[in-house]
């Protein structure tokens, strides 16, 4: 099945790489090298299989050199990727919904894996209703 992901890429000492790895060997993931994406918004496509997992992580970030902080240790500039939208075949999941279902859409630590569990196809209706219920809670 096809998926579309919309990202906001932030740059500091370059941009991070991105890996999107579906758990099924039959699916096409994404492996983008560091400094290949420009800063800004990007839309990418990949494939996935229902009743599987999709792994997301960034590469090419040195935590000591790729985050700028002010005198109070507040982050001023950071090399990271924010997932703003994920469209899985029939289901559209915005970043607020991702937080509600326990998926952190902020990819800011090098090779820290974020896993999205995809239910079986016959449970997609319940999956979507659960997202809507959590958004309205």
pLDDT score recorded for residue 38: 96
Residues of the chain with pLDDT under 50: none
Please tell me the predicted confidence (pLDDT) of residue 131: 87
pLDDT at site 101: 87
CATH number at 17 reads: 2.60.60
Share of the chain residues as helix, strand and coil, in percent rounded to the nearest 5: 15, 45, 40
- Write down the pLDDT at residue 30: 92
Query: What is each CA distance from 1 to 64, 119, 125, in whole angstroms?
Result: 39, 13, 16
Whole-number Å distance between alpha carbons of 29 and 20: 5
The pLDDT value recorded for residue 134 is: 86
Write the burial class of residue 56 (CB in 10 Å: 0-12 exposed, 13-18 middle, 19+ buried): buried
Q: Residue 125: what pLDDT? A: 87
- Which pLDDT does position 115 carry in this prediction? 93
Q: How many domains does the chain have?
A: 1
Which structural domain range is residue 127 located in?
2-136
């Amino acid at each position: 099945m096809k998926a579309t992901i919309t990202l906001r890429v932030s740059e500091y000492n370059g941009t991070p790489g991105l890996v999107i790895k579906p758990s099924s060997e039959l699916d096409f993931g994404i492996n983008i090298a560091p400094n290949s994406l420009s800063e800004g918004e990007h839309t990418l496509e990949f494939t996935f299989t229902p009743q599987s997992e999709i792994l997301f992580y960034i590469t090419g970030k040195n935590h000591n050199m790729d985050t700028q902080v002010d005198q109070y240790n507040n982050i001023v500039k950071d090399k990271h990727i924010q997932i703003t939208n994920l469209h899985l075949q029939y289901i559209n999941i915005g970043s607020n919904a991702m937080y509600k279902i326990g998926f952190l859409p902020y990819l800011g630590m090098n090779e820290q894996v974020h896993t999205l569990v995809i239910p079986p196809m016959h449970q997609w209706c319940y999956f979507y209703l659960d997202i809507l219920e959590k958004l309205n809670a």
